[in-house]
Structure formats: structure tokens, C-alpha cells
């Protein structure tokens, strides 16, 4: 059976990217470059989610990094139900399956190891399902603070890590190779929506939203202005969820700026209570399905019937988000 490796870059404070920081956080060196060439030039199959595929394709096709030719030549698999064939990138196969069903089959069938770089939400779900055999963390000596974006392991399950290897590149960049196993937590919240390993929000700020059906969700544009959208909200066991169509422009804003504001409102979007701030996290796999079930149960006509029908007519996917760190403004 093939192994599956989750490979990720991270700042010391746990972020995958940061605003106005250069590539490799400005810590690139010859040993690190040689290591990446070895990773992408080996006989491995590169596995990507849809968003990482788009980012990789744009960067690799427009840049001159010495590893880019290796990535172009590598065998690649993209797991996505939203992308449509044929994909433009050479040596790339599109598989329209959820990662939690596709990866076990690919591990059983593949004659080469599977290797995934980035694709954070997909790989967090795979780790939680026990499908990641190796976790390769490359830690850059930088603390990005408020400019950090895309926290690598939050929200996510808890893990015990067995250290297998460690390397230092160019005297400053640390790479740690672990075998992860899901931690057997005694906490009452364990593995999915309503009983989740993801960080809860046991706070007065969230409690006051528990009885609300609609909230005004404010997402931020690059110029700093806020866009208001009313969304149905479900609060369950310290966790808050909402859904949105995949084609909605707010998804791009949430990718760039996951920090949002919410406040109670009427069905037409008129505010009826004080605001709070929160962080929105895109869910995948079992977490997304469980959140969707909670939303359908609370709103059987509006969401379970009306919204699903509307999304089919629009030919768009249905995305689910969790709101964490809900705090009164």
C-alpha cells in the first residue's frame, strides 16, 4: 500500500502564508532549494485540492524557480468536485471525489507514494481520519503576527506526533518529519460537528447567538471595506456554522481575510443586536457534511429544500464554514 505524506511550510507562529512577506518568508537558501527539488523530483504523485491546484498552476506557470520544471513534469492528481475537465496543467488527473473516499482507494491502488503540499483543509480532514502516514513540517524562522494568514492546524483535530527525522537547512530552517496519530482526547467534543475536535467557542459572545436564525455576516475586501450578507446560523455545542454557494464572491474574501464580523439581524438583513468578531474556517469532508446536516435540520424548508434546489439550478457547490473565536466588539 502506498504511503500518504502531508508536506507543509509554516511560520513559527503557525501560519501558512502572510501578507507582504516574500516567498519562503525571505529565508530561502541553497540547501532548502535542493531539498524542495528532491521532494518534487522524486517518484511521487503530487495530490492537490482545487484551490491549491489553482494557486500552484498560476505560480508555476509564471515563475522561474528551479523546482517549477520538476513540478510541471511530476504526476499530479487533483481532488475536486468543482473543477471541470480537461485540466490545463500537463500530467494532471482530475478525480471528482471527496478526499476521504479517494485517498484510501489511491493508497491501495498506487504504485508510487502520494505526496501533498499545502491543501490545508483537505489535509486536516485526512489527518483527522487517520489517512496521513507522514507529516513533513518545514518551519521558517519568522513570527508573522497579525499579518499571518491560513493557520495550518487550526481548526483541526488533536494529534500525538512521533518524530522520525529532523533536518536544518542553511543554518536556519527546520524540517521535522512525524508519524501522526489522532489523540484520544477525554474532551466531550471529539470528531464532528456537534461533537467536534475543532476549537469550540464556550463564551458569552457565542451564547447570545444560539437563539438567532439569521445573522449579518460582514466580510472584508482588499481595500478594507466591509460587505454585508445575511446568512442562516446554527450554534450547536459551542460551535457555529453557516453555508454559502461555492460561486459566491464572499468565498474569495474569506480566503483572503478569514476575520469576519457578525451581528443578529432580520431575514432582510436589518441589524437587531450588537456585533461580534469571529474567524471563519472552510470545512471539508466529514466536518462539512455534519455541519450541513445541522443546518438542514434547523432550517428544513429554507435550507434543506430551498437552498439545495437553488444551488442545483445555479450549478454550484455548497460550502460550509465554522465560526471560531467569537468575541464581542
Average pLDDT, the chain: 88
Estimate to the nearest angstrom the gap between the alpha carbon of 80 and the chain centroid.
13
pLDDT average, residue stretch 135-152: 92
C-alpha to C-alpha distance for 216 and 265, rounded to whole angstroms: 6
Contacts (Cβ under 8 Å, ≥6 apart) of 240: 201, 206, 209, 233, 234, 278, 322, 323, 324, 326
Ramachandran bin of 267, using left for φ above 0, alpha for ψ from -120 to 50, beta for the remaining angles: alpha
C-alpha to C-alpha distance for 170 and 30, rounded to whole angstroms: 7
pLDDT average, residue stretch 74-84: 89
pLDDT exceeds 70 at position 192: no
Per-residue DSSP letters for 169-233?
Answer: ETTTEEEEEEEEEE----SS--SBTTB-SS----SHHHHTTTT-SEEEEEEE-TTS-EEEEEEE-
Contacts (Cβ under 8 Å, ≥6 apart) of 64: none
pLDDT average, residue stretch 157-171: 95
CB of 254 within 8 A of CB of 280?
Answer: yes
Per-residue pLDDT tens over the stretch 279-302: 999 998 888 888 999 999 999 999
Q: How far is CA 216 from CA 271, 273, 304, 308, 320, in A?
A: 7, 10, 20, 21, 16
CB of 210 within 8 A of CB of 192?
Answer: no
According to the model, what pLDDT value does residue 300 have? Answer: 92
According to the model, what pLDDT value does residue 195 have? Answer: 44
Per-residue pLDDT tens over the stretch 123-133: 998 998 999 99
Per-residue pLDDT tens over the stretch 36-68: 888 887 789 999 988 889 888 888 887 777 788
271 DSSP 8-state letter: B
The two beta strands, 173-182 and 234-236, are unpaired
C-alpha to C-alpha distance for 219 and 265, rounded to whole angstroms: 16
Which domains does the chain possess? 4-182 (3.40.430.10), 204-328 (2.30.110.10)
pLDDT exceeds 90 at position 226: yes
As a whole-number percent, the residues of the chain with pLDDT over 70 amount to 94
According to the model, what pLDDT value does residue 185 have? Answer: 55
Q: How far is CA 83 from CA 50, 51, 114, in A?
A: 7, 10, 21
According to the model, what pLDDT value does residue 203 have? Answer: 57
According to the model, what pLDDT value does residue 228 have? Answer: 93
According to the model, what pLDDT value does residue 43 have? Answer: 87
According to the model, what pLDDT value does residue 186 have? Answer: 52
CB of 11 within 8 A of CB of 26?
Answer: no
pLDDT average, residue stretch 249-272: 91
CB of 296 within 8 A of CB of 199?
Answer: no
Contacts (Cβ under 8 Å, ≥6 apart) of 282: 121, 251, 254, 255, 319, 320, 321
Coil, strand, or helix at residue 321?
Answer: strand
C-alpha to C-alpha distance for 30 and 53, rounded to whole angstroms: 26
Amino acid at each position: 500500500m502506498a504511503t500518504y505524506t502531508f508536506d507543509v511550510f509554516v511560520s513559527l507562529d503557525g501560519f501558512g502564508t502572510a501578507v507582504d512577506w516574500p516567498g519562503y518568508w525571505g529565508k530561502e537558501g541553497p540547501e532548502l532549494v535542493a531539498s524542495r527539488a528532491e521532494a518534487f523530483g522524486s517518484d511521487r504523485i503530487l495530490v492537490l485540492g482545487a484551490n491549491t491546484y489553482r494557486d500552484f498552476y498560476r505560480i508555476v506557470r509564471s515563475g522561474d524557480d528551479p523546482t517549477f520544471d520538476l513540478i510541471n513534469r511530476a504526476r499530479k492528481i487533483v481532488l475536486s468536485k468543482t473543477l471541470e475537465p480537461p485540466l490545463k496543467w500537463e500530467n494532471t488527473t482530475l478525480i471528482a471525489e471527496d478526499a476521504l473516499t479517494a485517498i484510501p482507494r489511491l493508497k491501495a491502488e498506487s504504485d508510487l507514494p502520494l505526496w501533498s503540499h499545502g491543501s490545508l483543509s483537505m489535509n486536516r480532514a485526512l489527518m483527522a481520519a487517520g489517512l496521513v502516514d507522514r507529516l513533513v513540517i518545514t518551519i521558517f524562522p519568522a513570527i508573522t503576527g497579525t499579518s499571518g494568514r491560513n493557520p495550518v492546524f487550526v481548526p483541526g483535530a488533536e494529534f500525538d506526533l512521533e518524530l522520525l527525522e529532523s533536518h536544518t537547512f542553511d543554518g536556519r530552517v527546520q524540517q521535522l518529519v512525524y508519524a501522526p496519530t489522532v489523540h484520544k482526547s477525554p474532551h466531550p467534543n471529539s470528531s464532528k460537528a456537534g461533537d467536534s475536535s475543532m476549537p469550540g467557542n464556550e463564551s458569552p459572545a457565542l451564547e447570545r447567538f444560539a437563539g438567532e436564525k439569521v445573522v449579518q455576516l460582514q466580510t472584508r475586501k482588499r481595500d478594507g471595506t466591509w460587505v454585508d450578507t445575511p446568512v442562516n446560523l446554527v450554534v450547536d455545542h459551542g460551535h457555529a456554522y453557516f453555508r454559502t454557494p461555492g460561486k459566491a464572491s464572499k468565498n474569495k474574501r474569506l480566503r483572503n481575510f478569514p476575520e469576519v464580523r457578525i451581528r443578529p439581524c432580520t431575514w432582510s438583513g436589518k441589524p437587531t443586536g450588537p456585533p461580534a468578531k469571529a474567524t471563519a474556517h472552510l470545512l471539508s469532508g466529514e466536518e462539512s457534511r455534519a455541519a450541513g446536516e445541522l443546518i438542514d435540520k434547523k432550517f428544513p424548508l429554507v435550507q434543506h429544500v430551498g437552498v439545495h434546489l437553488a444551488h442545483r439550478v445555479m450549478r454550484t457547490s455548497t460550502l460550509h464554514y465554522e465560526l471560531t473565536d467569537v468575541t464581542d466588539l
